[in-house]
Structure 1
Amino acid sequence: MFDRSFLRGLAAVLALFHLLLIAQLPVANAAMLGTAEVLAEQQQQVDREHLLAMLDDQGVQKKLASLGVERDQVADRINSLTSAELAQFNQQLDEAPAGGIIGIIVLFLVIFIITDLLCATDLFTFVKCINR
């Protein structure tokens, strides 16, 4: 039906396509994860969820509304915090008295305003960047 040279050529082309497909696959990289790394990642997630849960408090929402800040903006900023910033903020929160949560949130908003002034973020429309 097919001659031998045609079958050899077809086999060579198929082998070439096979090699090209294998070369395209990404290589898996396995590494051991330490317990400390896993715990730190889990703690970061718990801290982030704790802060986001605090935004649902009525007192916090009233304070945010009085400052003209939307809850979603603060939630986005919390989600963008680095692990060091998140740990520092939660440490300050743990050390604050029970009624000091509002004060901590005001401190957090001041940090947002400073980062807006330095052009690191663009969270508040009423804050103008000083580096322009």
Structure 2
Amino acid sequence: MIRSKWTRLLSTALAALHLLLVAHVPHVQAAMLSNQEVLSSHYQAMDKQQLHALLDDEEVAAKLLSMGVEREQVAERINNLTPSELAQFNQQLEQAPAGAGVVGIIVLFLVIFIITDMLCATNIFNFVNCINR
């Protein structure tokens, strides 16, 4: 009788533990990725790396500091760029003349900052008013 009581208690505990473990397993859905999706995510990562490499340039860093913008803010903005913004940015970067690249990059960053300030996403420049309020 004592043995059956312990057996019943043990089997109940094991059944409860099994139910808890089964309930904890997340459901996974598999889907096919197209080549275009894989390539676009790869190119986005490469484009962001190139922009971060441009931030390491001494002229760019000096110009940003002279305008009162920290490198960390710019790096965070680069990481938060949408794929369309990143594509537009790289298109403008490719069209810029070789000598005007640094100044063009800085101006483009400032335009992006002003747009994100206008959309209330950030608050870097005090003279830019939020349009969503």
| Shared fold (TM-score, shorter chain, > 0.5) | yes
Aligned counterparts of 1:130 and 1:46: Cα–Cα separation in 2: 32
Structure 2 gap segments, 5+ residues each: none
Aligned counterparts of 1:10 and 1:58: Cα–Cα separation in 2: 69
- Tell me how many residue pairs correspond in the alignment: 131
1:107 corresponding residue in structure 2: 108
Aligned counterparts of 1:104 and 1:30: Cα–Cα separation in 2: 40
Which aligned pairs between 1:4-15 and structure 2 lie closer than 5 A?
4-15=4-15
Give the drift of 1:3. 2.7
Aligned counterparts of 1:11 and 1:118: Cα–Cα separation in 2: 60
1:30 corresponding residue in structure 2: 30
The SS at the match of 1:68 is coil
1:121 corresponding residue in structure 2: 122
Asked if 2 retains the 8 angstrom alpha-carbon contact of 1:47 and 1:90, the reply is: yes
Give the drift of 1:13. 3.0
Aligned counterparts of 2:55 and 2:6: Cα–Cα separation in 1: 71
The SS at the match of 2:100 is helix
Asked if 2 retains the 8 angstrom alpha-carbon contact of 1:116 and 1:127, the reply is: no
* Superposed structure 1 runs of 4+ greater than 6 Å apart: none
Aligned counterparts of 2:23 and 2:11: Cα–Cα separation in 1: 18
Aligned counterparts of 2:64 and 2:111: Cα–Cα separation in 1: 12
Root-mean-square deviation (Å): 2.1
Aligned counterparts of 1:89 and 1:13: Cα–Cα separation in 2: 60
- TM-score, normalised to structure 2's length? 0.84
The SS at the match of 1:103 is helix
Give the drift of 1:5. 4.2
Structure 1 gap segments, 5+ residues each: none
In structure 2, the CA distance between the partners of 1:97 and 1:125, relative to structure 1 (3 Å rule), is: closer
- TM-score, normalised to structure 1's length? 0.85
Give the drift of 1:120. 2.2
The SS at the match of 1:3 is helix
In the alignment, is residue 71 of structure 1 matched against residue 71 of structure 2? yes
Aligned counterparts of 1:128 and 1:92: Cα–Cα separation in 2: 24
Aligned counterparts of 1:34 and 1:118: Cα–Cα separation in 2: 33
Which aligned pairs between 1:41-120 and structure 2 lie closer than 5 A?
41-101=41-101, 102-120=103-121
Aligned counterparts of 2:87 and 2:118: Cα–Cα separation in 1: 24
